[in-house]
Amino acid sequence: MPDLAPILPPATLGVLGGGQLGRMFAIEARRCGYRVAIYTDEPKGSPAGQVADLEFNGAYDNEALLHAFLDEVSVVTVEFENIPENCLRIAEARRPLRPGLRAIHTTQHRQREKEFLRANGIECAPFCIVSDELGLRQAVAELGLPCVVKTAAFGYDGKGQSKVEQGSDLGQVWSGFEGRSAVVEQWVPFVCEISVVGARAVDGSLAVHGVIENQHLHHILDLSLVPARVGAEVAQQALALWRAVAEALDYVGTLAVEMFVTAGGRVLVNEVAPRPHNSGHFSIDACLASQFGLQLRAICGLALADASPHSASVMINLLGDVWPDGNEPDWAAVLNQPWARLHLYGKAHPRARRKMGHITVLGEDLPQALERAQAIKRSLGMP
């Protein structure tokens, strides 16, 4: 029987994970008068820990520390999905875990996620699960080329992926996956990538930020454009897919679903994230309630807020590459613009490809926001 009493300030909210998503959640929660406790396997001073009331630093299998964290909190959520199952079990046995174990367990593993989508009739690219080179050969014969091989577990931002094309050496491709299982997916010749981010409340009500158009560079999100430049039919399919995922997972919290749009206007689910998402960051500055505001309301058992956009916007991801030779970029170029909002995540070391922050650029319409975003990118020396 779920605990339906709303959790109100100054209760302490627990977050598993110490990255930027936990940081932005903690800022939102503290603004409303909640306390926040972070549990992370990073050292003290994690991006989320810097702005939290309490930071517990230890391995996810440190049960004594985990219980000390659970002693402090009224509810537990996650800011990344790769949390060991046993840790989630311990948390769920003692406190409401939102989203719940089943939703996180399903979506933290690509094979389980794909099988869940298939079992629920939710459209995604055709796929096979393989565990050896022979299996890969059979999958390629069945799915055709090109296709993509992805590790079943713990892959993100294109890590642990390999594209197989006509003439690829399958033995060599498989050597990168040896000893693990993998998902082989048919290549989707998409015309654009989109996502839907929103939340489902304890009572099953829903709120979404609309459809987001995503552009990637080197497999990492570069820009998110809102509103997405898709027709009403595509938008409707995308929102219906998001809803189908949320309901089939009996989800509580903020949920992100990434999708492909084909030339024929079909929408296929690519990935599900059981948490706020990089492509939803625009919502902090461009929506009535943000993805973190929705997460807060959902996990506390409260009614959701209107999450629709009030402005067109473009979110620019800031990777470590933007720091020239490790030096701080010229933030005045951003902060002097009335229509730009800078978010930095408090990470000390700007390594290449590391997500260090983002900028939301607002506009009266998308062309204006896009033009402003391109100007900001140029001023920061971005490609």
Give the interface with ligand AMP as residue ranges (CB under 6 A): 125, 148, 150, 155-156, 158, 185, 187-188, 193, 216, 219, 258, 270-271
Residue closer to ligand AMP by CB (options 35, 275) is 275
Q: Which residues pair with 273 in a beta bridge?
A: 256
Residue closer to ligand AMP by CB (options 12, 107) is 107
Sort strands 147-151 and 190-200 into parallel, antiparallel or unpaired: unpaired
Contact 38, 48 (CB under 8 A): yes
Shortest distance in whole angstroms from residue 338 CB to ligand AMP:
32
Type of residue at 379: S
Residue closer to ligand AMP by CB (options 28, 193) is 193
Contact 342, 333 (CB under 8 A): no
Residue closer to ligand AMP by CB (options 94, 112) is 112
State both tokens at 29.
């929660």
Residue closer to ligand AMP by CB (options 74, 214) is 214
DSSP state of 309: B
Shortest distance in whole angstroms from residue 195 CB to ligand AMP:
10
DSSP state of 57: E
What's the start-to-end Cα distance of the chain, in Å? 52
The 3-state DSSP class for residue 181 equals coil
Shortest distance in whole angstroms from residue 11 CB to ligand AMP:
35
Residue closer to ligand AMP by CB (options 190, 339) is 190
Shortest distance in whole angstroms from residue 199 CB to ligand AMP:
21
Q: Which of 27, 318, 258, 309 is nearest to 125 (CA)?
A: 258
Element (H, E) at 126: none
Shortest distance in whole angstroms from residue 270 CB to ligand AMP:
5
Shortest distance in whole angstroms from residue 260 CB to ligand AMP:
7
